[in-house]
Structure 1
Amino acid sequence: MASPMDVDESYPSPPDRKGIKGAYWPSFEGFEASSIDTSYFTHIFYAFLLPDPVTFKLNVTPFDQQKIPGFIENLRTRNSPVKTLLSMGGGGGDAIALIFANLSGAQETRKVFIDSTIEVARTYGFDGLDLDLEYPVNDHEMINLALLLQEWHEALVHEASASGKPRLLLTAAVYYSSQFTTYGLPRSYPADSINKYADWINPMCYDYHGTRENFTGPNAALYNPKSNVSTSFGIGSWIQAGVSPKKLVMGLQLYGRTWKLLDPNVNGIGTRAVGEGPGGGIFDYYQVLEFDKENNAIVNFDGQTVSYYSYAGGFWVGYDDSVTIDWEVQFARSRGLGGYFFWALGQDKDWIISKQASNSWDR
């Protein structure tokens, strides 16, 4: 069996030299895997599994036991096959963060978790593993994340050597910026370890604004002349921290955020709002189109942030469409990034945005 020292650690990844066109598939949303048009993607992430909070082994629930085989089979047998990754974690708040904080705190518990992820991935036929950890809360947890990635990678190398199978991919969904500048104590991701041990990372370049704020704002501003809350800043921070651009797969949204305006006659970006709008403060892209059509909404493009917003009846929604997605994908290409991914499958309408992104990347 090869040791990690026998392996070239400088991976020229991502492994698909043409680039990553990824998307997360929320298994719990009711959008069937058989409905995924794989011609627009290279990698699909199954979301999500969680470790058991006591044993730290990956918990494959009865629901997942029923869903995963169909997911794998559907995507493996298409005319345009894609690689599949098993994503663990998700945006479940403090409870999920605590599980990962506890399991990453000691080598013994990290090993239990790592071994179980490999076993599950091989049992079901996944091509890789993805950690969606939102978010390490302090420097200590960042250090433990670095150790987890190193030991995980080494275990994958050993397992591939022993089994004779291709090494499982190792990726991670991360904050849009390499540094936390907007909430909590200042902290930074372990960029050196990420660059060395992950095949790539997925900066989540969205959720910049929402109804947690009393003013309207773009959910995924490409640029922001007034603050660092933008994709251009976030991606730049990762590169400045030392992560290879080719290991950055930029996150794109397939949804928008909605507000109720304080004054319907004042309706630009940054105007006062008094709560969430329709959809509980969030619209899938197809719902945005329905809202605009049914309400004869006024639709505006904001060139400073490269985002769209529309308003009608005192409600406001900020979102991306095919035009802004084209800008964002071209930005990713111009920076030499490894690709892009979407959150989440089932939110597009007739694959309008997915198709635009794929065509923009290839042209």
Structure 2
Amino acid sequence: MAVKGGYWPSWVSDFRGIDSGLFTHVYYAFVVPDHTFKLDLSGSRLGDFISAVRPAKAILLVGGEHADPKRFSDMFPQDHDVENLGYLLHEWRAAVQREATVTGRIPLLLTAAVPFSANSNGSFPVDSMKQKLDWINAMCYNYRGSWDNFTGAHAALFDPINNSEYTTDMGLRSWIRAGIPPSKLVMGLPLYGRTWTLENPGSPGIGAAARGIGPGDGGTMTYAEIVRFNRQHHASEIYDQDTVSAYSYAGTAWIGYDNVRSTTTKIQYAQRLGLRGYFFWQIAGDHEGTISRAGEKSLMFSQSDRSVIL
């Protein structure tokens, strides 16, 4: 099955915002292990979530960036953590098979969210990932942010001007070169943008000099917030063909993000690359389902591997 996925954040308890018809899989993000490594599901309303996302499949996400202890999720793992991932996947796949044997049910899906590039954090256990996981979700965003003193496309598909390795194209192809079949690779798409404060409002392009974060919480804004900001401030919105991204600006405020056009172009790219599909982080941040709907209306994915020029 092709993947048209969406992450739903656990801190948003009103599931009526989920249009399940737009997705094949909806991820509940997150459930965090306690100090005994057990999952506390008492306050998660998982039953309501599963009912709300039907007919899409519900997937439970364990961990998260702020999980403590960080044994199941770490945005910046050490080399030994990456090595141990292979052992963990072996144990979890065995547990999935045991559960299916005991219950007579279809085996549970086992997936993992990984950095955008196979070269990001040491050497990943690609053989184990290929054998034990149904697919992997590549987090293709956060390449740029307030740590840069210039504006940028934080989820750039390409970067022909700077020839940067921090692009979705470079990252996905690194996973394929490492040995992950395209049919087991799912491309991440952000439903949020990153903001800057321009040094010179008269020079508002990508790469413009900036001095720290712009509007939004910590320099980020959901797509819904971006749409409202653009309307309220009569912001100029520009589509950048080089990076396949959008940005808007009003005065010294600058926001880089994906809109319908860039999202659709990226999904078409994923289809040409023969990927398993795409996912959004996170669908509660969409504006009335605008981008999620554009993704769902894209051409259907094929499950067959295709020739990929690396």
TM (normalized to structure 1)? 0.79
- Please say if 1:213 is aligned against 2:148: yes
- Give, as a single letter, the amino acid of the residue that structure 1 aligns with 2:166: V
Rounded Cα–Cα distance in structure 2 between residues aligned with 1:269 and 1:74: 40
In the alignment, which of 27, 43, 57 is matched to residue 38 of structure 2? 57
Q: Deviations over 1:45-66 (max 9, x none)?
A: 111011112x111232x421xx
- Please say if 1:272 is aligned against 2:209: yes
In the alignment, which of 106, 124, 131 is matched to residue 196 of structure 1? 131
CA contact (8 A) 2:20 2:52 kept: no
In the alignment, which of 34, 46, 49 is matched to residue 71 of structure 1? 49
Alignment of 1:113-262 (within 5 A): 133-135=73-75, 137-180=77-120, 187-225=122-160, 226=162, 227-262=164-199
Rounded Cα–Cα distance in structure 2 between residues aligned with 1:248 and 1:192: 14
Rounded Cα–Cα distance in structure 1 between residues aligned with 2:198 and 2:124: 37
What displacement does 1:211 show? 1.2
Match of 2:6 in 1: 23
In the alignment, which of 253, 261, 285 is matched to residue 223 of structure 2? 285
| CA RMSD, 1 decimal | 1.5
What displacement does 1:135 show? 2.8
CA contact (8 A) 2:283 2:292 kept: no
What displacement does 1:296 show? 1.5
What displacement does 1:222 show? 0.5
Rounded Cα–Cα distance in structure 2 between residues aligned with 1:335 and 1:90: 28
In the alignment, which of 50, 64, 68 is matched to residue 90 of structure 1? 64
User: Alignment length, in residue pairs?
Assistant: 298
- SS of aligned partner of 1:277: coil
- Please say if 1:35 is aligned against 2:17: yes
- SS of aligned partner of 1:23: strand
Rounded Cα–Cα distance in structure 2 between residues aligned with 1:282 and 1:63: 28
- SS of aligned partner of 1:154: helix
Rounded Cα–Cα distance in structure 1 between residues aligned with 2:75 and 2:222: 24
Rounded Cα–Cα distance in structure 2 between residues aligned with 1:295 and 1:356: 25
Which blocks of at least 5 consecutive residues in structure 2 are unaligned? 302-310
What displacement does 1:134 show? 2.9
Which blocks of at least 5 consecutive residues in structure 1 are unaligned? 1-15, 101-130, 181-185
Rounded Cα–Cα distance in structure 1 between residues aligned with 2:140 and 2:216: 22
- Please say if 1:99 is aligned against 2:78: no
User: Which structure has more RCO (C-alpha within 8 Å, separation ≥ 6)?
Assistant: 2
Rounded Cα–Cα distance in structure 1 between residues aligned with 2:22 and 2:60: 19
Rounded Cα–Cα distance in structure 1 between residues aligned with 2:83 and 2:154: 30
